[in-house]
Amino acid sequence: MMTHRRTLSSLTVLLLLLGLAVAACTPPPAPQAAPAEGETGPAAEPVEIEVFYPVAVDAPIAQILQGYAEAFMAENPDITVKPVFSGGYGDVKTTIQTTVEGGGEPPALAVMLAVDIYDLINGDLIVPLDDYIEDRAWLDRFVPAFMANSSFEGQVWSIPFQRSVVTLYYNADLLAEAGLEPPDSWQSLGETAQALTLREGDQVVRWGIEWPSGWPYWLFQPLAIGSGRNIVDPGDPLTVYFDHPDVVEAVQYYIDLSGVYGATPPGVQAVWGQAPSDFASGAAAMIVHSSGSLAGILEQADFQVGAMAVPGQEPGTYATVPGGGNLYILKGAPQAERDAAWQFIEFLTRPENVADFSMNTGYIATTDEAAELMGDYFTQTPQAQAIREALQYADAEFSVHNLGEVRNIFHKYLQAAYNGELSPEEAMAKAQEEADAALAPFRE
């Protein structure tokens, strides 16, 4: 035992001596320079994010968003923003769903319809944003009508950005020539459209009004609201009112604009993309369309353009409904990309950027702070101010669970009524029955 202890002691001493010798031959570490004032330490790891974005209105959306991406990257050189543009909201959503279902990685950020919130949650495609929102008062900046489709069960799932309302555009010069005031009821709208319809023999050279119905629910909703009953309950995403008598009456009014007043083409009008140019060229005296088309219409038209909410059934009443897209962060993207996406959201929703986007597109500024920066623009473009004021007449946009199927059901039967294949009562009864069946699994 004594010999073993002496062996350990000798080995330990030898190791210590070797360590001291190595230390003596090793130069001391170079001193680290202190960070300069304003520096926050080592640069963040570079990250690239894709932003899927729809471009389906008459405005230079792609050019505008690319400009924002470049300005953001100049401020954040560690983040690369790559916009990916698609034809419309449905294209963006379908591409993302297909990518995820195929095992691929979705973009970090996308602009999709605000009303898609339930389908996106049920599909486990998006993440709630509450952890990013340090001060809940930040949300109070946004117009309440635009926040209505941004939350579910106490969590925030998207941020308003590219938002619009259904708008009635009218050729104010034609109304003045005819001695007419802007319509303020269903009857005056029909009579005004009738008076402004121009025929040469059997040929219509100018329709009094074009009301696109190829994608009908959104542009139909103001009629239902103006009749007294929206097709949805904003507080209940499991209930629709397709067969309500007021909704049936609204369907009949749309049909009467052609059948009674002779002021619009009969049947389904698949003219969404064509309607603004028809209006600007004089082929239509009035159109119902998105406020997001304002900038393009004003650029093309050589007459005074009027813009307003859709007249309701009773004199002096009006109705509209918000629409457009929100910013969503996708669940399947890596955490670093999601964090960078939130930084881009914060950048896009700065008041000066929201105001700039509104002035260059016709979409409505989503915050009051941004609207306050637009005083001169509103003075020069009173149509934009009128559209913003139309928000006071807005009710909830059509958004329910299983939205894709329920919406397709409504479209099918609404268009069947427009085309005279079913009466409004028959069409809406069938729509209600099938929609209730589609919503039943979500009630369990």
Predicted confidence (pLDDT) per residue in 240-265, tens digit: 999 999 999 999 999 999 999 999 99
Q: What is the pLDDT of residues 95-153, one digit of tens each?
A: 999 999 999 999 999 999 999 999 999 999 999 999 999 988 999 999 988 998 899 98
Strand, coil or helix: what is 65? helix
Proportion of the chain above pLDDT 90, given as a percent: 80
Q: Is 204 in contact with 283 (CB distance < 8 Å)?
A: no
Beta bridge partners of 287: 169, 210
Q: Which helix (H) or strand (E) holds 204?
A: strand 203-206
Please say if the pLDDT value at position 409 is more than 90. yes
* Arithmetic mean of pLDDT, 164-171: 97
pLDDT of residue 361: 83
pLDDT of residue 444: 78
Handedness of CA 334, 339, 343, 349 (dihedral sign): positive
* Arithmetic mean of pLDDT, 424-441: 98
Q: What is the pLDDT of residues 205-229, one digit of tens each?
A: 999 999 999 989 999 999 999 999 9
Give the angle 232-238-244 at the CA atoms, nearest 5°. 40
Mean pLDDT in the chain?
89
* Arithmetic mean of pLDDT, 194-200: 97
Please say if the pLDDT value at position 297 is more than 70. yes
Please say if the pLDDT value at position 23 is more than 50. no
Least confident of 54-58, 155-159, 247-251, 351-355: 54-58
Global confidence as pTM: 0.83
User: Cα separation of 240 and 159, whole Å?
Assistant: 25
User: Cα separation of 164 and 388, whole Å?
Assistant: 9
DSSP 27: P
Proportion of the chain above pLDDT 70, given as a percent: 89
Domains in the chain, please, with CATH?
47-164+323-392 (3.40.190.10), 165-322+396-443 (3.40.190.10)
Give the angle 108-324-397 at the CA atoms, nearest 5°. 120
Strand, coil or helix: what is 193? helix
Q: What is the pLDDT of residues 357-387, one digit of tens each?
A: 999 888 899 999 999 999 999 999 999 999 9
Q: What is the pLDDT of residues 32-69, one digit of tens each?
A: 344 444 344 445 689 999 999 987 555 578 899 999 99
Q: Are strands 322-329 and 109-113 parallel, antiparallel or unpaired?
A: antiparallel
